Amino acid sequence: MPTILGQNQYGKAENRVVKITRDGDTHHIKDLNVSVALSGDLDDVHYSGSNAHVLPTDTTKNTVFAYAKEHGIESAEAFGLLLARHFVDDTEPIHQARIRIEEYEWERIETSDANSRFIGADEVKHSFVRKGQETRTAQITYDGEGVEVLSGLKDLTVLNSTNSEFWGYIKDRYTTLKEDYDRILATSVSAVWRHNYTGGEQERTPNWEKSYAQTKKHMLHAFAETYSLSLQQTLYQMGSRVINSRPEIDEIRFSMPNKHHFRVDLSPFDMKNEAADGAVYYAADRPYGLIEATVLRDGATPRIPVDMTNL
């Protein structure tokens, strides 16, 4: 047979698991989209169709829901670690598990003032509205020895309406862009960061929830506070701020589309449209500049793939 099998993996993708926890009348919610990918001793199923080493994807789905009940969902990362270890440790032919998770955040519907007026009842503690800002992501990989935990987010859209310039670039035959000393800088941040935690028994486990909240905050602050000469510079400041502020993180990669906001040329109508006066912009869809880079703690080995994906 002149062809051979290379890297392969399989599992159930996009298991939409919602766990409610009740603390008296106060409810809590965790809302995840969990994707399982398993690798191991799986040549036969490809070559001959023998499923003797195959844990059905349907079973991996059942396991996600059963584990959510048995163990609860403390955080996406902690839940992913439990699942990854189970699949590898408890299924002989499976040698590696990769769990990818998207998390959707909810906030409480605050009703205290309304109650007094409408129903005189206690405040409602079981009502939520989806926050709808970024999607939080996590990827947990376990190979029977160590673990790798990547946390991340996507679709966090940010905009600075000033303190951004772009000039001094290469001009070749095909260059028509005019230099700009006061432009809007906007992007939709996708980021993945790698924790240096490897799952050892002596290791202290990060506080995943706090780590995420702080990392997001540092990115937002660095974005806001950087006087930007290029989106690359802003990206590096964001990554550097995270690495410098969060000792548990060694590496971060960004994929940041330049969401162009072009100042509209109103001169045909004898109108000025200067940034300094508060301008009108056209928010463009395509094409868009796409800036991608990794920022590392000095000495760390890069492990996050160049192309970031989820699911």
Minimum separation from the CB atom of position 278 to its own copies (A): 4
Among positions 85, 95, 154, 161, the unique one binding its own copies when judged by CB under 8 A: 161
Q: How far is the CB of 204 from its own copies (least distance, A)?
A: 21
- 297 annotated to bind ligand: no
Considering the complex, what minimum distance in angstroms separates the CB of residue 146 from its own copies?
18
**3-state class of 188 per DSSP?**
strand
The answer to whether residue 16 forms part of the interface with its own copies (CB under 8 A) is yes
Q: At 164, list the tokens.
A: 């951004």
Alpha-carbon distance of 191 to 193, in angstroms, equals: 7
Q: Does 51 bind its own copies (CB under 8 A)?
A: yes
- Is residue 285 part of the contact set for its own copies (CB under 8 A)? yes
Residue 213 in the binding site for its own copies (CB under 8 A): no
Residue 285's region, left for phi above 0, alpha for psi from -120 to 50, else beta, is alpha
Residue with smaller CB distance to its own copies, 66 or 205: 66
The verdict on 233 binding its own copies (CB under 8 A) reads yes
**Annotation marks residue 178 as catalytic:** no
* 2 cis-preceded (ω within 30 degrees of 0): no
SS3 sequence of 195-222: ECCCCCCCCCCCCHHHHHHHHHHHHHHH
Question: Contact between 120 and its own copies (CB under 8 A)?
Answer: no
> Please, is 110 exposed, middle or buried when counting C-beta atoms within 10 Å of its C-beta (0-12, 13-18, 19+)?
exposed
Positions 169 through 198 that interact with its own copies (CB under 8 A): 169-177, 184
Q: Element (H or E) spanning 147, and its range?
A: strand 147-160
- Contact with its own copies (CB under 8 A): which of 41, 126, 145, 207? 126
269 among the known binding-site residues?
A: no
Q: Which member of 12, 195, 216, 261 is catalytic?
A: 12
DSSP 8-state assignment for residue 260: -
Residue 260 annotated among the catalytic residues of the structure: yes
Q: Which of 19, 53, 57, 59 is catalytic?
A: 57
Nearest to 11, CA basis, from 49, 37, 33:
37
Q: Is 57 a catalytic residue?
A: yes
- Catalytically annotated residues: 12, 57, 260
